[in-house]
Structure 1
């Protein structure tokens, strides 16, 4: 994990910018075009969550944890990482009870526990 990723994860988690907790988990991915970027994160203080951003988002993102509803948030950092692995169209990735699927129309992330989630593209964001 790069220093940038650790610092970003700590900011995302809302904890002090120090060494990441020993049980911290972080995984980044992006759309094949690179216009959407997402990050899964958790540690002993922060439940599993996923956050996605889009190019031109004007400091906005969408976020979801395993038990809550998807929500729009204001951000001061970014999860865009050019080295993040692309999630091919039609493919899904999971992190605990969170599942994200990439489609040409955008990325949909859903909690398999609560049924809530979000869909994000560069032109439209929907939380449910």
Structure 2
């Protein structure tokens, strides 16, 4: 089960990122000619994505994967996809994406770590 979990967790994390988070994350006007911009990211999609990461982290913890190894397995692929998205869609003005990428990567890694600890604790 441990081997299955270590192989499937990155695949499922990456697939959930691709299904739930839009590739182009730049803000855009809701209607042509409008000055007010909106984000293409939907709140429900972020909530579902976070739940998927937590479940995967908990699954890895229950499977016996050490929590420090669960972090890159769960957060690695989504973090790489997020970086690729940021690098392929440059902002026309100020570029906050490098800082945002670091913040979101840390959040994903901490969520995976805590879920793996919880999963490991539930086995004992």
Tell me if both proteins adopt one fold, taking TM over 0.5 as the criterion.
no
Larger-Rg structure: 2
Higher strand residue share: 1
What range describes the TM-score normalised by the shorter chain of this pair?
under 0.3
Higher RCO, 1 vs 2 (CA within 8 Å, ≥6 residues apart): 2
Higher helix residue share: 2
